[in-house]
């Protein structure tokens, strides 16, 4: 490797890996590359390409190195060489928060807590039944509940529930005996207690419950309109999932389509989507699922003399902690 010969570094803008800033470039992979180039005393210049053209340029040896958050795949390994991984990644699903489903949220909450809900319902029903029977026994000789057991207990149940909920409790059902009145008073207090617990539980649920969306996992993408960047691995993955794939040249156009409800979701590399949400401070969008683990790497033409030296430098930066510092700067 001749450090004096100037090498060409092809780049394609893909935040936060490669970010165009004024007349130059920045980003996680750009900073990683520049640290490596500095340590190896490499003289280089950047040349900007569209993503598809960048891979072709590397294959044809028109560039010495290609940087663009490029996913390593078996198909690409046949045509070009990859460095050691520069970043672990995955695909993520980006949706509009307005796709939240109240029905699904409540349904999932009930499914997750049905045992507690069922136990509470049985306990309340048992208490109402017990109090109703006691009241009927106490009042069956009076003119309030002097009906046969079946009708008398029904009237008693109606009375107790009315007292507990403070609705429909009328004067003609006022108990005559001291203990009958005591039981009604107990029912009223118990009803207030239940209402307080219900209100507190509902508030806790609304605070802690995970909002459910119509699209939360890869299987939910089947038949949905999903936007992604053309000529990327996301296209292949979405086609496997039977999604209605809509490709765009720049991923930023996909965000606009999502906001205008022209697509149901955007699927793309996780670092890029996280960076967009963070930098744009757009609270109307949310990432709901990740899938298809992948790794990024620098790309070289086959049989590149640069590859071995750069691989050693990537490993060295891991060993001395410099990689971790750079990762923390860009991803926290």
Average pLDDT over residues 46-53: 94
Residues 31, 326 contacting (CB under 8 angstroms): yes
Q: Which residue has the higher pLDDT, 208 or 161?
A: 161
pLDDT of residue 295: 94
The predicted pLDDT at position 126 comes to 85
Which pTM was predicted?
0.63
Interatomic CA distance for residues 71 and 92, integer angstroms: 14
Averaged over 68-78, what is the pLDDT? 92
Whole-angstrom distance, CA of residue 14 vs CA of residue 276: 11
- For the stretch 145-151, contacts whose Cβ atoms lie closer than 8 Å and that sit 24 or more positions apart, written own/partner, are none
pLDDT band at 183 (very low <50, low <70, confident <90, very high): confident
Q: Highest mean pLDDT: which of 1-5, 23-27, 242-246? A: 242-246
Q: State CA 98 to chain mean position distance.
A: 14
| pLDDT at position 172 | 45
Q: Which tokens go with 320?
A: 């001395």
Q: How many helices (H) and strands (E) does the chain have?
A: 11, 10
Report the pLDDT value the prediction gives residue 3, as an integer from 0 to 100.
47
Residues near 25 by beta carbon (within 8 Å), at least 6 away in sequence: 11, 13, 18, 19, 46
The fold of 96-101+212-292 is D-Maltodextrin-Binding Protein; domain 2 (3.40.190)
Compute the average pLDDT of residues 140-149. Answer: 64
pLDDT tens-digit series, residues 190-233: 777 777 776 676 666 555 556 667 888 999 999 999 999 998 99
Q: What are phi and psi of 118, to 5 degrees?
A: -65, -40
Kindly state the average pLDDT of the residues 71-83. Answer: 93
CATH code for the domain defined by 104-208:
1.10.287
Question: Which residues make up the CATH 3.40.190.10 domain(s) of the chain?
Answer: 7-89+294-331, 96-101+212-292
What was the pLDDT predicted at 22? 80
Mean pLDDT, all residues of the chain: 85
pLDDT surpasses 60 at 69:
yes
pLDDT on residue 109: 66
Q: Please tell me which residue, 262 or 145, carries the higher pLDDT value.
A: 262
Assess whether pLDDT exceeds 80 at residue 153: no
The model's confidence at residue 105, banded by pLDDT at 50, 70 and 90, is low
At residue 252, the pLDDT reads: 92
pLDDT digits (tens, 9 = 90+) for 274-307: 889 888 887 889 998 899 999 999 999 999 999 9
Percent of the chain past pLDDT 70, that is, above it, reads 84
pLDDT at 121 over 60: yes
Q: Is the dihedral of CA 319, 325, 327, 331 positive or negative?
A: positive
On the question of pLDDT at 171 being above 70, the answer is no
103: β partners: none
pLDDT bucket at 143, cuts 50 / 70 / 90 = low
CA angle 318, 13, 236 (to 5 degrees): 85
- In angstroms, the CA 97 to CA 93 distance is 12
The top-level CATH class assigned to 7-89+294-331 is: alpha beta
> Where are the domain boundaries for CATH 1.10.287 in the chain?
104-208
- The alpha helices in 140-269, defined as continuous H runs, are 149-165, 178-208, 233-240, 251-259
pLDDT at position 168 is 52
Percent of the chain predicted with pLDDT > 90: 53
């Amino acid at each position: 490797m001749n450090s004096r010969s100037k090498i060409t570094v092809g780049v394609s803008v893909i935040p936060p890996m490669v970010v165009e800033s004024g007349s130059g470039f920045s980003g996680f992979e750009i900073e990683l590359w520049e640290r490596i180039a500095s340590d190896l005393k490499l003289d280089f210049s950047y040349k900007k390409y569209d993503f598809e053209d960048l891979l072709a340029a590397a294959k044809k040896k028109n560039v010495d190195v290609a940087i663009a958050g490029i996913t390593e795949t078996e198909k690409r390994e046949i045509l070009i060489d990859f460095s050691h991984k520069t970043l672990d990644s995955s695909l993520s699903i980006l949706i509009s928060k307005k796709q939240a489903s109240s029905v699904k949220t409540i349904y999932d909450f009930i499914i997750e807590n049905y045992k507690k809900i069922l136990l509470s319902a049985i306990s309340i029903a048992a208490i109402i039944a017990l109090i109703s029977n006691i009241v009927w026994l106490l009042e069956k000789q009076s003119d309030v509940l002097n009906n046969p057991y079946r009708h008398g207990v029904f009237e008693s149940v109606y009375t107790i529930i009315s007292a507990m909920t403070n609705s429909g409790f009328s004067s003609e059902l006022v108990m005559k005996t001291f203990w009958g009145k005591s039981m009604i008073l107990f029912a009223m207090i118990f009803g207030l207690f239940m209402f307080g617990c219900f209100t507190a539980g509902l508030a806790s649920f609304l605070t802690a419950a995970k909002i459910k969306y119509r699209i939360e996992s890869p299987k939910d993408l089947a038949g949905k309109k999903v936007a992604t960047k053309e000529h990327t691995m996301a296209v292949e993955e979405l086609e496997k999932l039977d999604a209605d794939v809509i490709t765009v040249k720049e991923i930023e156009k996909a965000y606009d389509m999502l906001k205008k409800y022209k697509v149901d979701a955007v699927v793309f590399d996780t670092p890029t989507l996280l960076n967009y949400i963070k930098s744009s401070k757009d609270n109307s969008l949310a990432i709901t699922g990740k899938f298809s683990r992948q790794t990024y790497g620098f790309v070289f033409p086959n049989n590149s003399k640069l590859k071995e030296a750069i691989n050693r430098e990537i490993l060295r930066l891991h060993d001395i902690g410099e990689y971790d510092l750079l990762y923390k700067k860009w991803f926290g």
